[in-house]
């Protein structure tokens, strides 16, 4: 498929996991893609890469301007960079809350703010935010992470309303547990990684983790001209977790 031919895309957190799969898919379908990441060292051609920290407004602004200049514009922004946190409200202190909200929420704000002037000039402008099923599912031991993704969901809806007349569509994906390096790190840190993996798999009604490629396909759909009538939605890619209202066996 070459449905992204002529389109220019920016993917934050595109050096690993979901972002990497998304950058590679958009590129394979014809887009010119720049990855913005804290650590873009592993990104290879034809993908372009720039170092940026989404918690630093100057870093984001500089990278977005440079990427748009290099590519000759910007049509698609995938706000994907994010970090995790575990625990209840009693477990995370203010510094941890501020850190996660800074990356997961303000990171989306900063990158969108820098990209919107370019997106307004596009005939196929789309923003896709990587949210999470944690925004709506009421998962245990994820108070801070869930709150951060709840904010991303609300921000998606507010941005969709604010920019509809600019011709900028804004949607998000809500993945369940995705088999990425992030989840690998979580499992490595567990007392019994195999048991932890089995518990994560059992939480998904399909009985398996979601793949990064499955989330990338959903992001690509929302970013594509084919989704021209879709804005202000959250697409679940969660093995049925939310829609089926199933609980672990």
When asked if residue 189 is in the footprint of ligand NAD (CB under 6 A), the reply is no
- What's the rounded Cα separation, in Å, for the pair 22 and 11? 8
When asked if residue 15 is in the footprint of ligand NAD (CB under 6 A), the reply is yes
User: Please, which of residues 117-136 interact with ligand NAD by CB under 6 A?
Assistant: 130, 132
When asked if residue 25 is in the footprint of ligand NAD (CB under 6 A), the reply is no
CB of 161 to ligand NAD, least distance (A): 22
Question: Contacting ligand NAD (CB under 6 A), which of 38, 101, 217, 246?
Answer: 38
**Which residue in this structure is represented by tokens 């509809």?**
164
Binding mask 42-61 for ligand NAD (x = CB under 6 A): ----------xxxx------
**Which residue in this structure is represented by tokens 């809350």?**
97
| Structure tokens given for 171 | 């949607």
- Concatenated DSSP letters for 208-242? SPBPHHHHHHHHHHHHSGGGTT--S-EEEESTTTT
Q: Where on the phi/psi map is residue 6: left (φ > 0), alpha (ψ -120 to 50), or beta?
A: left
Q: Among positive and negative, which fits the CA dihedral 134, 218, 103, 185?
A: positive
When asked if residue 239 is in the footprint of ligand NAD (CB under 6 A), the reply is no
Q: Whose CA is closest to 223, among 25, 16, 69, 20?
A: 25
Give catalytic status of residue 221 as yes or no: no
Of the two residues 71 and 200, which places its CB atom closer to ligand NAD in the complex?
A: 200
Binding mask 82-101 for ligand NAD (x = CB under 6 A): xx------------------
When asked if residue 9 is in the footprint of ligand NAD (CB under 6 A), the reply is no
Of the two residues 19 and 124, which places its CB atom closer to ligand NAD in the complex?
A: 19
CB of 236 to ligand NAD, least distance (A): 11
Across 108-129, b (16+ Cβ under 10 Å) vs e yields bbbbbebbbebbeebebbbbbb
Find the helix packing angle between 107-119 and 143-163, rounded to 10°.
20
When asked if residue 114 is in the footprint of ligand NAD (CB under 6 A), the reply is no
Total binding residues toward ligand NAD, as defined by CB under 6 A: 28
- Could you count the other beta carbons within 10 Å of the beta carbon of residue 218? 22
Of the two residues 22 and 124, which places its CB atom closer to ligand NAD in the complex?
A: 22
Which of 4, 118, 145, 182 is catalytic? The answer is 145
- What's the rounded Cα separation, in Å, for the pair 220 and 96? 32
Contact region with ligand NAD (CB under 6 A), list: 26-34, 112-120, 170-178, 191-199: 170-178
Question: Contacting ligand NAD (CB under 6 A), which of 48, 183, 219, 223?
Answer: 183
Binding site for ligand NAD (CB under 6 A): 12-13, 15-19, 37-39, 52-55, 80-83, 103, 130, 132, 175, 177-178, 180-183
């Amino acid at each position: 498929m070459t449905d992204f031919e002529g389109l220019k895309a920016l993917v934050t957190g595109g050096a690993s996991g979901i972002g990497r799969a998304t950058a590679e898919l958009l590129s394979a379908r014809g887009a010119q893609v720049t990855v913005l990441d804290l650590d873009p060292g592993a990104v290879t051609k034809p993908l372009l890469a720039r170092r940026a920290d989404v918690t630093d407004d100057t870093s984001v602004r500089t990278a977005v301007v440079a990427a748009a200049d290099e590519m000759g514009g910007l049509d698609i922004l995938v706000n994907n960079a994010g970090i995790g946190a575990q625990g209840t409200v009693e477990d995370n202190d203010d510094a941890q809350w501020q850190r996660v909200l800074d990356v997961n929420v303000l990171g989306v704000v900063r990158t969108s703010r820098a990209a919107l002037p370019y997106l307004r000039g596009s005939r196929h402008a789309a923003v896709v935010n990587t949210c999470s099923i944690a925004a709506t599912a009421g998962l245990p031991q994820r108070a801070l992470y869930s709150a951060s993704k709840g904010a991303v969901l609300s921000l998606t809806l507010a941005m969709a309303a604010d920019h509809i007349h600019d011709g900028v569509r804004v949607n998000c994906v809500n993945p369940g547990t995705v088999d990425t390096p992030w989840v690998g790190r979580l499992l490595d840190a567990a007392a019994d990684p195999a048991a932890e993996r089995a518990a994560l798999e059992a939480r998904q009604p399909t009985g398996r983790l979601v793949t990064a490629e499955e989330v990338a396909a959903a992001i690509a759909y929302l970013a594509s001209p084919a989704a021209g009538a879709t804005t202000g939605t959250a697409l679940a890619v969660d093995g049925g977790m939310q829609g089926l209202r199933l609980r672990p066996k």
